[in-house]
Amino acid sequence: MANVIGGLATSHVPSIGGAIAKGLQQDPYWKPFFDAFDSIHAFLEREKPDVAVVIYNDHGLSHFLDKMPTFAIGAAEEYKNADEGWGIPVLPAFPGHAALSWHIIESLVNDEFDITSCQEHLVDHAFSLPLKLMYPDAKWPVRTVPITINSVQHPLPSALRCWKLGQAIGRALESWPGAEKIVVLGTGGLSHQLDGTRAGFINKDFDLLCLDKIVNDPVALTKYSNKEIIELAGSQGVELMCWIAMRGALQGRVSQLHSTYHVPISNTGGAVLLLENAPRAQAMAAE
């Protein structure tokens, strides 16, 4: 039986890659954000996960506006990163876990989710940068499963729908017969708006509320409509959906190991959150 050991949430703006490429990790503007990953590295070194399930939003690389799936899952043996021109140079291909991907796809379809399965899938900064931050030497010790949520083309899935997606992913992982240790990532956000009259908008109060609720009361975040989230977090702040889905996938007793909030990184409310997940059976035995 697979063991979902925890969840990680992080901002993924392309300029993080530019900062890495330029060696700016100790620059005062960036240092608090990069320093947050010391705790992540310690956790990964201690737990040594085998698989990373990455829940993120594609920015037009694999899914463009003419064909934008609400939910899609990569089902390949490797995933290549394509450089978008302003972030980190192209990284080595990421190893996939096609068998686990198909298990998740079949499980989600049985749970009445309509899933687009992608046997060829390019990954952009929303996928590659979090893994680069986790493993700075770019030697990937984990196999990966990319899961995308549409946060670009309206109509968007609701926060509640993404929470239920995460729960269904968690059930699929719990039913996987392998013995792998699995970490679930939710990437994007927090508050930011890149266009229009509110370009540069950041809502620190709402971001801090999200950081608290995602740990202690995630269902509270599902009460917000998409319109309310856009008003509170900016048009790109709907990437919060990926954090909500990540949290839903943690089916056991969840505890916070680390949280950092640093404003701004590239006009974004930059945040890092690390959660430990005690397996459901272990959590029930402890009660």
User: Taking the domains of the chain in order of start, what are their residue ranges?
Assistant: 3-286
pLDDT at res. 284: 46
Band of pLDDT at residue 199, cut at 50, 70 and 90: confident
- What is the percentage of the chain residues whose pLDDT exceeds 70? 95
The whole-number average pLDDT for the span 143-158 is 95
235 pLDDT more than 90: no
Instruction: Tell me how far apart the alpha carbons of residues 271 and 156 are, in angstroms, rounded to a whole number.
Output: 23
| Gyration radius from the chain CA atoms | 17
Tell me how crowded residue 18 is: count the other CB atoms within 10 A of its CB.
Answer: 16
110 pLDDT more than 80: yes
Whether residue 242 contacts residue 273, with contact meaning beta carbons closer than 8 Å, is answered with no
Instruction: Tell me how far apart the alpha carbons of residues 196 and 85 are, in angstroms, rounded to a whole number.
Output: 23
Judged by average pLDDT, the poorest of 72-76, 192-196, 223-227 is 192-196
The whole-number average pLDDT for the span 79-97 is 83
280 pLDDT more than 80: no
59, 97, 192, 262: which one is catalytic? 192
The model's pLDDT over 34-82, given as tens digits with 9 standing for 90+, comes to 999 999 999 999 999 999 999 999 987 888 888 899 999 999 999 998 8
The whole-number average pLDDT for the span 1-27 is 91
197 pLDDT more than 60: yes
Total residues found in the chain within this entry: 287
Instruction: Tell me how far apart the alpha carbons of residues 201 and 164 are, in angstroms, rounded to a whole number.
Output: 29
Peptide bond into 211 cis (omega under 30): no
282 pLDDT more than 70: no
Considering the segment(s) 3-286 as one domain, its CATH architecture is 3-Layer(aba) Sandwich (3.40)
243 pLDDT more than 80: yes
The whole-number average pLDDT for the span 1-20 is 91
CA nearest neighbour of 184 among 228, 220, 214, 227: 214
Name the region of 189 (left: φ>0; alpha: ψ -120 to 50; beta: rest).
Answer: left
CA atoms lying within 13 Å on the CB side of residue 270? 21
Higher-confidence position of 210 and 266: 210
97 pLDDT more than 50: yes
63, 125, 154, 262: which one is catalytic? 125
Band of pLDDT at residue 202, cut at 50, 70 and 90: confident
Band of pLDDT at residue 86, cut at 50, 70 and 90: low
Band of pLDDT at residue 234, cut at 50, 70 and 90: confident
Band of pLDDT at residue 237, cut at 50, 70 and 90: confident
* Backbone dihedral angles phi then psi of residue 143, each to the nearest 5 degrees: -90, 155
Instruction: Tell me how far apart the alpha carbons of residues 179 and 263 are, in angstroms, rounded to a whole number.
Output: 39
pLDDT at res. 87: 67
Average pLDDT of the chain is 91
Tokens of residue 117, six digits: 């399965």
192 is catalytic: yes
